[in-house]
A and B are shown apart, each in its own frame.
Chain A
């Protein structure tokens, strides 16, 4: 996942919340919780970088936390909140 190029699905809206954000996919009607403000920053800046790893670096995420981000981002791809920049799931 770390070497992939990802972006928010065009049908996903993100609403900031004190715990992080709510993300809603208008296509598949799934509601997803982004459970940390850092995760929201990462998700929002994915399309500015070539890979997930570049995004994590740019957002100043400590490398020790990368595995948990990797897992969370995998879940977000699974729920189609994130897609590859080439449109691939």
Chain B
């Protein structure tokens, strides 16, 4: 890729290439690594009319597609009208779901829609591995949803896996499962965001496993989707497919259920809140004029990583991973493959807490309940 293009992307675009929109904080599950600490609906969530107005703005900005998540987006009673409005306006929809609300009728309805991609979340190829992270019964729920989509002729849906210490050895099995459905596999990086702030230290892959993930992804090439989330591994050698940059506030962002705009889906915290779609000027003004996004589009300091020969390859890794593990933003990623992150983590005494917690009372994450 040409240097000038990379520079332009770092400098930000007039509109995001794609954005993530968490439609609700309500969720039937309580996954231990939930990026948005979801569970209870927030009474301030955007109304249907407000959501439609945001979609009209995104149409005018020519945003090609949005990633819808939550919470569990299908809990919203206006889920289908919102998705229909997006697609009718040329905005493709990719949505993430745990599958609990995909009954036979929903599967048929989804299968009839164009420009719709579905990602079913699954974090283990067997119930014990998956349910330890996502909750009792969630493996069976996800598999049932996959069976229904396949039965309804949806076509190639996606199976979306967050790679952890406990499922990293199942990558080939995940691929086989995806193949058995004619589905596409998507694997993403575990972030210490939301409830993940509490579970990351015991769930994130070890340094040896990071290398295992890199080799596996390299062998798969672009057949496996990653959301470009593993660019910190590029310090190991040949770059993985993708843009190889942090797109936060430059080419991507997050709209949360109450309309707040954050730099990316992994930084729900006041420090990374750029504004709200409810303010005058709407989303467009936030994207183009927020002080935070302007500063993220300035050249970033390599800081402690400046003297490392791998900086150009890994770009210092993920801003969110550093922030929520208490590391400076201009230093190594906590999962730096050179081991610098582990050294830095040893000196951390406190880390920022996620801004909001919608965890349902009593819905203690299973990982901890099992102990």
Contacts and interface: CB of A to CB of B under 8 A. Distances in A.
A31 interface: yes
Contacts of A17: 8, 13-14
A18 interface: yes
B65 interface: yes
B90 A13 contact: yes
Interface string B91-115: 0100000000000000000000011
A29 B64 CA distance: 10
Contacts of A19: 4-5, 8
Contacts of B2: 35
Contacts of A15: 15, 62, 64
B92 A22 contact: no
A33 B251 CA distance: 13
B5 A22 contact: no
A13 B5 CA distance: 19
A35 B5 contact: yes
Chain B, interface SS category: loop
A33 B242 CA distance: 13
A29 B5 contact: no
B333 interface: no
Contacts of B13: 17
A29 B117 contact: yes
A14 to B, nearest CB: 9
Interface residues of A, number: 12
User: Is the interface on chain B under 10, 10 to 19, 20 to 34, or 35 or more residues?
Assistant: 10 to 19
Given A22-B17, A29-B92, A13 B64 contact: yes
A89 to B, nearest CB: 19
A35 B8 CA distance: 11
B3 to A, nearest CB: 11
A17 B89 CA distance: 21
Given A13-B90, A17-B13, A29-B117, A24 B64 contact: yes
Interface of B: 1-2, 4-5, 8, 13-15, 17, 62, 64-65, 90, 92, 114-115, 117
29 contacts: A13-B62, A13-B64, A13-B90, A15-B15, A15-B62, A15-B64, A17-B8, A17-B13, A17-B14, A18-B8, A19-B4, A19-B5, A19-B8, A22-B17, A24-B64, A24-B92, A26-B90, A26-B92, A26-B114, A26-B115, A29-B92, A29-B117, A31-B17, A31-B64, A33-B1, A33-B5, A35-B2, A35-B4, A35-B5
Given A19-B4, A24-B64, A35-B2, 17 more contacts: A13-B62, A13-B64, A13-B90, A15-B62, A17-B13, A18-B8, A22-B17, A22-B64, A24-B92, A26-B90, A26-B92, A29-B65, A29-B117, A31-B17, A33-B1, A35-B4, A35-B5
